[in-house]
Structure 1
Amino acid sequence: MFGQRGIVSGTLEADGGPLPGANVIIKGTSIGTQTDFDGNYSIECQVGDTLLITFVGYDTREVLVTPALLGFEEIPYSAPREAVPMIKSIAYSDAVQRASDSLHSIPSLNSSPYMYTKRNGYRSFRGIKSIKQSKNIVTLKYSDGELYVDGTYKGSMQLRTITDKNLPSNGINPYASVLSTNHRVNTSIWDNNIRGGLSLNYGIGNDNYLSTVFHNEGISANFNTQGSYKIPLQIQLGYNSATDNLANLNGYQNLLLGRQLTNAQFQENPLLALNGNESISKSKNFRTAVSAEKSFGLDFKLIGTQSLVISDRDEEYRLNAGSFGYESDYRSGKRFNNLQSNTALTFQTNFEILNSIGVNTTSKIQWQHSEIDYDFNEVGNENPLRTSQELNQGIFEMQHNINLDYNNHVFLNLTNTSIASTRQAGALLVPQVSISAVPTEIWYGLDNGFIDYINVSARYGETVSASGLFYDNYAHQSLLLEDTQALQLLNNRDLFYPEDLALESGRSFEVATEFRLFYNRLRLGFTYENRKDDHGIFPVRLGDGFVLDNLANTRTKGFDISLRTININGYDDSARWTTEVTLSRKRTKTSSLLNGSDRVSIAGFSNVNANLIPGASAGVIVGTAFERNDNGVIVTDSQENPVIAEGVRIIGDPTPDFILGITNHLDIGRWNVALSVDYQQGGDIWNGTQKALNNFTDADESYVEEATFINIKSLSATYELVDEKKWNNSGHLPFFNSFKISVFANNLATSTAYRGATPYSSAFDNQSAMGIQYFNTPLQLETGFSIIAKI
């Protein structure tokens, strides 16, 4: 009996492609990882944890770790124990391969540090010298260590086209024609994008695993290597780089501002204006990690890890001479040099009580050190400016966890986290408790072919989160301007976290259940969440600038539903069609503002903005509105023109009624066809683009649009050139583990409630500005092909 710990892995995608550099963090801790250049991630966690998935420009996603997510539903049928004779069959080997990857269990091929074993076929594992089977024992002898390369190259070529229906309607202002699809604008953009990466890994030493494969006493499997005196060591290196051409910013400044504020030669040559601004953002990231572990018998393990992440980001803003009123070139740049080191020591125990209760304990202490070196300079103004900032902080965290497992039927998890920061006050008690049960294991009659598996779980927990050093949400920077004043460059108002802030904290209650029916051909999951977040940090207006402060308490309620069906499952997986459906409905409301204000603006402009208002949805849109009588009818003047009310009012709520995602995968031989569709029902968007095109006339209320949309997000066909079955049967490994050629189309067809809608972006690409649209880059149809090779 082993505690419910394991590794959750997957791939994050956005806009039809991988999402590199996204953060995946265990909520309430500083334990986390980042997706690689291919969008892949892997993180060790336990049942009851909540994974936070964050990326700049996207909403934070929370995922509750359930037994099903860790693969524990694959535990075979468990009958009362009795001694049985040794089993001599291929089924035994297959069971070894399928066993779950909890502590001291047989390692999953997807999570084992020995990457070279990731091949199907039990006896074709490289690195295993021999397999010896004796009574109740299977012994595998490993080689002493191998140097191996696990690399991926990905190259792609795309043609991006802005279609007429994705552009806003023309208005009456002089620069409206620049945004139309007449012959003066080139709306087809070639984008050559080559992405690749290489990682080197070296593993040496021994692993000891013990698992009751068939849940019968006397039958177990041991994986051993020679040289038990050695300490297993794993070294990981990673590097990735990315370039962002800042499409929203360049398009906004070149096509809109450049045409309005630049001399005649630019106005008569839109292509020159299109290339007039060369703003760009480049980032590099280097990661290294070393881990070592030492087992003391079968029940105790000590694990030490040390990781280092060094990242650089350069942001360059350039305006050509003669444009935007500058006689000479304007240049400004930001450089962020970040360093983060993490040292952790983990002690794990595993034992059994009364032959029925498995106990797994984990104690972890961790020290995280962060540094940032910031430099900003600009040339081209009358008074050149240069500022710099150097900050650092240390975070100490201690976590204790106990897992109780009763006959693989009922699981109880108790956790407490303590945290201290060199820049903020700490917290000693941050408890969490979760319980889950598998009725299909308790009452065997439920497992009848119609109902294959049921899991029910509940969790209550508290969380704390230490702030970082740099506040990378720029949504506040336009709040000092009215929308009519946005036809000018924004000032740089970068913010750094002060030392006197309280920790952001929260409390949450979650219940979840999962059903697997019809011989696992249908999986249905449901999760309900009720979460309260306190001391949320936001920018607050102070004179002509902003400061960060603990500003708001919020509450989130909602649910997620997931459905996965196997529609076709051919013999030997020769043909397989699966459908995955996810539905999410969540609403976040502001409970209170800690500074005593009636409302606080967090994004947009000074006259129309997204707000935190007690009792209202977070991010509600406030602006000018029409005067109405007691019956809700708009009041008109003597000329029958609508009367605009004094002051500002709530005019929209960007929170959708629900979000639906549907993905289909069809596998036939080495072909894979995938289709993804996004649908959003409800929500509001303030269409500032249309207001500008209409010369800023009428109340802001008249530009509030419904945000409902449906989008064929991606359609792809992929062919795998490497015949894996052929190589497995031959017992040899090819040079390429995988070589895929893919053709794809993203945003193939889109239907929105109004013209010019851009469902996946917000004003100036700021996360807090969802629901505010102001000359966002139009949605682009993207077609192309890609090649992915792995060795």
Structure 2
Amino acid sequence: MLKDILIIKANLMRYFLLLFLFFPIFGYGQFFTYKGIVSDADGMPLPGANVCVKNTTNCTTADIEGNYTLQVKPGDIIQVNYIGMVTREFTITATGSVIATGTGEVKPILSDDFANALIKEGNDTRVPEPSGTTRTYFKDQYSYNNVVLVKKDKDNEYTFVTARDYHKLFLELYHDFTIGTPIRLHGYQNTYAQGRSLNGAATYQSPETGEPFSWGPAISTLQTTANATPYYPGGDITPGVGSPVATYNRNGLFRNSYEQKTTLSAKLLMPKRDYLKLGMSYKSGNGILPTATSNEVNTTFTYFIPLTKHNLTATAGYNRFNNNLSNFNFIYNKAIFANAVTPTHFNNGLGSVLPGGLPRSYSNLENNPYYLLDYNLDENLSNLYTFKVSDEYHYDRINNTATVTAQFSNIENTGGNVPFAAQVAGGDYTQRKEMYNSILAENNFTYQGHNGLSLGARLLLNYQERDLQRDYLEGFTGLDAYPAVADDQFSISRRQSRASANLNLNAKYRVNSLLGYYDDLLLNAAADAGYSSTYKNNIYFGGYAGFDWDDVIERFALFGNVAVKQYEPVLQYNNLAFNSLLYRVSDFKQMSATQELFAPNTTLLTRETNYSVGAEYKWPVSARLELYKKDISNLYAPVNQGGTFAWMPAADYTQRGLEVSASYDHYINGDDVMFSHTLSFSTYKNKVTAVRGGGSRIAIAGFADVNKNYMVGQPLGAIVGSAYERDAYNNIVVGSDGFPLVAAEPKVIGDPNPDFVLGINTTLRVHRFSLNLGFDWSRGGQLWNGTGQTLDYYGVSGLSGQQRNVTNYVFNGVTQSGQPNTQPVSFYDVTQPVTQNRWQRYGAAGVAESAIESATYFRFNNLSLSYSNEYRYNYSHAPRYTVSVFINNVFVVAKSKTAFSANTMFNAPETSGLDYFNSPLQRMYGLSVGIKF
């Protein structure tokens, strides 16, 4: 197995060189991220505390929970400062641990007045009274650590004020605003009109003819008349020279999207050190398509109280999400499709319904996108209620945390195909209601023993319940009856439940100075035993073993592990995009999500085995390299069994990979300027080793005729579709008419997996300003650009406009007899039926092989500039604030001019690498403001 892991392609070494080409070195002194919590003597967090590297401006403030993050290097002294409390310090060591001259704990400061009057005698405190006598205050009432202020009135009476006498309110307010602009849009031809070849000439065909194609004459040969029609309110179009025919930008359908989110966190710290915390956020936005809106409300309420050896926390939460263009029945992609295939001289925006109530579109065989959107009922509404109670127990070497979490959710989906839409006879409508409830009880126990040994046990008890009710209606006589009055109806009703338990026993053993100096070896081991009421054998097992060996050689560490885990498929599977596998590309306009997936009553487990080994170097450049191998069996997928999908174990696969990460930080000019650089690199190869269900492959995403697959001997998600006929020497076979032939059976035409992915991030901080740049490079892999082929088929693409008049073209290939092809062809011979031209002859999907494009891209992923007043000398109670502006998807350089491998089809992750009128990539511009009180 280890031998397999270490087998890396010889040309992989050139990839490592990239790590240094993109990784500038400015000097020595390695910085890394340090995270901590600021608390008082009672362990309570102190929001707003200042945390700085001593004698620098490298500072931050603790958040509402006392958490902070700071870039540090070995030898740095960290100062923790809080109003009215003593500054504490601790030092960072070379290994990132802490030498405590104090911890994150901060003690109260006594007033000078009290300090001068204080008399310490034994265990009590005496303060002089005006009469000359003294009053004793016992330390269990007013301890040194609790007194924060002494007040003296005009009669010289002293009043003690402790931290426990105060209510303290902390507020954090954030607002984000983002605007998105569509980029990498398709280019269209604006030269040729609606029509086709008739009687030896390219002929204009009006909308009344039902003509779906734009293979007509040049628009310059047409004129606009004074005769208004429902299709052309500004004047009909006829052959002849007169008033020029107007053209329209089909990308005008898209608008700029926007999203805004406001978040408020409030924490009230009370005298007994208990607190109330309220979190609220509201997010709303408009999508890039007309009418697309969404909004989300999220609220949490927490109460915390510390008791002797216990910390009790109770939390209640509510989340509500609504989306009125959910793509439940692929409406998003259908609207983009309808807009894209419209002839350039037809304006969809002048109305979506004719006077008689039928759709107004350029052809009765196609849709007006506004008709689909105006009568769209694809909507999603979800409500989630969460309740959580936890108890943290600490005593000596024992820690135990018990938690009970209950979640209750309901999801409502509506949607369907609008009546009279293209390829839709009477329309259809779905009402889908799902309730999903779960109760999880968890107990984590740890014992920190002597001599580097620690033991742990985790117990999980879980009960889940899913109740789905779905009504499907079809056959509507018109828009007035939609969706209330249907000709036919059927329902799906299914209730599922699962009770499960898991016990994890784990142990850690630390050995110091194994090699005789300051190395540190940590051994880890764990064993799992699980039970499930739905698993075929009820009981299952898993385990883990690993090691982390620091400073094997100074600053150099080794690690390795092996893990085996098993798990069941989820009860709740709400992504219905698998329904597209029932339809061919040519049936796209009638697709509907009519089927559901359910976990089997008796399941098999997915088994995952992971092996990894690696090394890490910590200073001055922090670098980590890991080689891994994983084997997966019984991977679940939607399996088509005669037109009905079942959720079942479908495939086994194996994957080997390499991951490298590196970071470097450098401070200049007394730490006023800081550079930070991080880099990540990953490469992997995977292969399906078995499929189940009786076939040679299982389609998992896409269409019936072009799809991603689990296929033995092929990489995960191999793209399968139509391909050119080839001879034994891989030459394309050309028919007697001079055009390439199509193979009788579909073939593997693409691999969506990249050769490698490289990510680069650079941060420059100058005083209070911070500039961040992020890049990512994905090399290799392929994608299917079905959008481009369908646009060619309709004659609306820029390519079809540029090349339709090409003549005497000879395709490179051989004839059926094996001789080199010499037959010249015209791409569009108007003396022949339109179905004989280069792009029409292969249908709406074309030859899928010719739509395969490189998925390689380089992206300037993000650019942000921020300003913050959280700096070293801000010790006042004045608000802290941060203002940031950013751009995401600054630019993309890719071999494919329009499709993008990181985009998904139908908003389903499984469809990455497939493009069929996907939502365009957007360049995002944003502003973020945060204020802490």
TM bracket (short chain): 0.7 to 0.9
Unaligned runs of 5+ in 1: 1-69, 78-89, 110-116, 133-137, 208-225, 447-452
Which amino acid letter does the alignment assign opposite residue 253 of structure 1? K
Q: CA deviation at 1:703?
A: 0.8
Q: CA deviation at 1:510?
A: 0.6
Instruction: Pick one of 544, 560, 565 that aligns with 1:432.
Output: 544
Secondary structure in 1 aligned to 2:590? coil
Which amino acid letter does the alignment assign opposite residue 157 of structure 1? F
Instruction: Pick one of 314, 318, 335 that aligns with 1:235.
Output: 314
Task: Please give the residue correspondences for 1:102-113 in structure 2 after superposition, counting only pairs within 5 Å.
Answer: none
Which amino acid letter does the alignment assign opposite residue 158 of structure 1? T
Secondary structure in 2 aligned to 1:665? strand
Task: Please give the residue correspondences for 1:89-100 in structure 2 after superposition, counting only pairs within 5 Å.
Answer: 93-95=89-91
CA 1:755–1:575 in structure 2 vs 1: closer, same or farther (change >3 Å)? same
Which amino acid letter does the alignment assign opposite residue 369 of structure 1? Y
Contact map agreement 2:541 2:566 (CA 8 A) in 1: no
Task: Please give the residue correspondences for 1:194-593 in structure 2 after superposition, counting only pairs within 5 Å.
Answer: 194-198=260-264, 229=308, 231-244=310-323, 246=325, 249-257=330-338, 266-267=360-361, 275-277=374-376, 279-296=378-395, 298-317=396-415, 323-324=421-422, 331-353=429-451, 358-378=452-472, 380=483, 381-407=486-512, 409-424=520-535, 425-439=537-551, 446=554, 453-518=555-620, 522-572=621-671, 574-593=672-691
Q: CA deviation at 1:150?
A: 7.1
Distance 2:455 2:145 in 1: 28
**Aligned residue in 1 for 2:717:** 619
Distance 1:513 1:166 in 2: 44
Distance 2:165 2:636 in 1: 48
**Aligned residue in 2 for 1:53:** none
C-alpha distance after superposition, 1:193-246 (max 9, x if no partner):
232445677899999xxxxxxxxxxxxxxxxxx997452212344444444455
**Aligned residue in 1 for 2:734:** 636
Contact map agreement 2:335 2:370 (CA 8 A) in 1: no
CA 1:197–1:161 in structure 2 vs 1: closer, same or farther (change >3 Å)? closer
**Aligned residue in 1 for 2:750:** 652
CA 1:186–1:699 in structure 2 vs 1: closer, same or farther (change >3 Å)? closer
Matched, 1:710 2:858: yes
Contact map agreement 1:159 1:189 (CA 8 A) in 2: no
Q: CA deviation at 1:191?
A: 3.2
Distance 2:542 2:925 in 1: 49
Q: CA deviation at 1:525?
A: 1.1
Contact map agreement 1:717 1:743 (CA 8 A) in 2: yes
Matched, 1:786 2:786: no
Q: CA deviation at 1:428?
A: 4.5
**Aligned residue in 2 for 1:87:** none
**Aligned residue in 2 for 1:13:** none
Which amino acid letter does the alignment assign opposite residue 433 of structure 1? A
Q: CA deviation at 1:632?
A: 1.6
Distance 1:594 1:276 in 2: 42
Q: CA deviation at 1:97?
A: 12
Which amino acid letter does the alignment assign opposite residue 725 of structure 1? R
Shifted more, 181-190 versus 767-776: the winner is: 181-190
Contact map agreement 2:719 2:748 (CA 8 A) in 1: yes
Matched, 1:193 2:259: yes
Which amino acid letter does the alignment assign opposite residue 183 of structure 1? N
C-alpha distance after superposition, 1:349-396 (max 9, x if no partner):
11213xxxx011001111012222323334534224443333221220
Q: CA deviation at 1:778?
A: 1.4
Shifted more, 263-272 versus 591-600: the winner is: 263-272
C-alpha distance after superposition, 1:567-616 (max 9, x if no partner):
445534x3322121111112221111233431111111111211111111
CA 1:227–1:608 in structure 2 vs 1: closer, same or farther (change >3 Å)? closer
Contact map agreement 2:719 2:751 (CA 8 A) in 1: yes
Which amino acid letter does the alignment assign opposite residue 306 of structure 1? V
**Aligned residue in 2 for 1:740:** 882
Distance 2:423 2:583 in 1: 19
Secondary structure in 2 aligned to 1:486? helix
Distance 1:460 1:97 in 2: 31
Q: CA deviation at 1:317?
A: 2.3
Contact map agreement 1:259 1:267 (CA 8 A) in 2: no
C-alpha distance after superposition, 1:82-114 (max 9, x if no partner):
xxxxxxxx9983149999899xx99997xxxxx
Distance 1:107 1:324 in 2: 73
C-alpha distance after superposition, 1:597-643 (max 9, x if no partner):
31111111111211111111011011111122222211112232112
State the TM-score, normalizing by the size of structure 2. 0.62
Contact map agreement 1:710 1:752 (CA 8 A) in 2: yes
Contact map agreement 2:173 2:262 (CA 8 A) in 1: yes
Q: CA deviation at 1:260?
A: 7.7
Secondary structure in 1 aligned to 2:906? helix
- The alignment yields a C-alpha RMSD, in angstroms, of 4.2
CA 1:251–1:337 in structure 2 vs 1: closer, same or farther (change >3 Å)? same
Distance 1:155 1:92 in 2: 33
Bigger Cα Rg: 2
Shifted more, 367-376 versus 526-535: the winner is: 367-376
CA 1:705–1:556 in structure 2 vs 1: closer, same or farther (change >3 Å)? same
Which amino acid letter does the alignment assign opposite residue 314 of structure 2? I
Secondary structure in 1 aligned to 2:639? strand
Secondary structure in 2 aligned to 1:617? coil
Contact map agreement 1:276 1:319 (CA 8 A) in 2: no
Secondary structure in 1 aligned to 2:310? coil
Unaligned runs of 5+ in 2: 1-68, 77-85, 121-142, 147-161, 195-211, 216-245, 275-304, 343-351, 363-367, 474-482, 513-518, 794-843
Instruction: Pick one of 904, 920, 927 that aligns with 1:762.
Output: 904
CA 1:108–1:367 in structure 2 vs 1: closer, same or farther (change >3 Å)? farther
Contact map agreement 1:101 1:108 (CA 8 A) in 2: no
Contact map agreement 1:762 1:769 (CA 8 A) in 2: yes
**Aligned residue in 2 for 1:38:** none
Q: CA deviation at 1:259?
A: 8.5
Which amino acid letter does the alignment assign opposite residue 332 of structure 1? T
Contact map agreement 2:632 2:653 (CA 8 A) in 1: yes
**Aligned residue in 2 for 1:155:** 175
**Aligned residue in 2 for 1:54:** none
**Aligned residue in 2 for 1:219:** none
Q: CA deviation at 1:545?
A: 1.0
CA 1:757–1:713 in structure 2 vs 1: closer, same or farther (change >3 Å)? same
Which amino acid letter does the alignment assign opposite residue 864 of structure 2? S
Instruction: Pick one of 682, 686, 699 that aligns with 1:601.
Output: 699
Distance 1:108 1:123 in 2: 14
Contact map agreement 2:74 2:93 (CA 8 A) in 1: no
**Aligned residue in 1 for 2:867:** 719
Matched, 1:675 2:773: yes
Contact map agreement 1:96 1:106 (CA 8 A) in 2: no
Contact map agreement 1:258 1:324 (CA 8 A) in 2: no
Distance 1:162 1:511 in 2: 43
Q: CA deviation at 1:328?
A: 9.1
Contact map agreement 2:422 2:589 (CA 8 A) in 1: no
Instruction: Pick one of 889, 892, 896 that aligns with 1:750.
Output: 892
Secondary structure in 2 aligned to 1:560? strand
Q: CA deviation at 1:143?
A: 6.2
Which amino acid letter does the alignment assign opposite residue 672 of structure 1? S
Which amino acid letter does the alignment assign opposite residue 703 of structure 2? F
Secondary structure in 2 aligned to 1:691? helix
CA 1:342–1:766 in structure 2 vs 1: closer, same or farther (change >3 Å)? same
Secondary structure in 2 aligned to 1:310? strand
Identity of aligned residues (%): 20
CA 1:616–1:320 in structure 2 vs 1: closer, same or farther (change >3 Å)? closer
Distance 2:214 2:908 in 1: 25
Contact map agreement 2:74 2:96 (CA 8 A) in 1: yes
